[in-house]
């Protein structure tokens, strides 16, 4: 809002803030990151209801209260409350904790490209269809300089179809 940042990447939903434009640029389904030592690592797919005995690595509630709550709710609807053994803010940290055997994690399908040693990415079944990991751009349109406009156009052109 103070103009020190031209554009940010955020995970919606966000509270509407007057003067800011928010545009969704990617929507990703969830998969399950599993330590290679876990028997689930060889399963295709794993149903959400099968995860009741697992420990989880999850991002903190304060980092994304709405998405965090929806993930917990999906687990409850599948018949269990996830046991969170660790929390981490960064995707690489989450995957490193999974590799260390600290638990399994819900991650966006796009995290497959990170290829962390010791982690298998397993398709998930039983997740609500509307439960996705969204990515959006946010900026102040009133202060959009030509470089920002060009950046936004480029980001839109590179958006997955």
Q: How far apart are CA 7 and CA 76, in angstroms?
A: 36
pTM here is 0.84
Domain boundaries, the chain: 7-26+135-157, 30-131
pLDDT at 43: 86
Task: Answer whether residue 14 shows pLDDT above 80.
Answer: no
Arch. (CATH architecture) of 30-131: 3-Layer(aba) Sandwich (3.40)
Query: What would the pLDDT profile of 152-161 be if each residue is shown by its tens digit?
Result: 999 999 887 6
pLDDT at 152: 93
Q: How far apart are CA 95 and CA 111, in angstroms?
A: 9
């Amino acid at each position: 809002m103070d103009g020190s940042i031209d554009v940010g990447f955020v995970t919606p939903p966000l509270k509407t803030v007057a003067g800011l434009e928010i545009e969704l640029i990617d929507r990703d389904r969830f998969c399950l990151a599993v330590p290679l030592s876990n028997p689930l690592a060889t399963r295709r797919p794993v149903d959400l209801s099968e995860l009741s005995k697992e420990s989880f690595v999850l991002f903190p509630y304060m980092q994304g209260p709405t998405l965090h709550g929806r993930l917990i709710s999906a687990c409850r609807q599948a018949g269990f409350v996830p046991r969170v053994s660790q929390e981490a803010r960064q995707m690489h940290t989450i995957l490193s904790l999974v590799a260390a055997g600290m638990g399994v994690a819900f991650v966006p399908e796009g995290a497959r490209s990170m290829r962390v040693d010791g982690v298998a990415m397993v398709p998930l079944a039983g997740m609500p269809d509307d439960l996705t990991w969204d990515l959006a751009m946010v900026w102040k349109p009133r202060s959009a300089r030509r470089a920002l406009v060009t950046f936004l156009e480029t980001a839109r052109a590179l958006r997955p179809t």
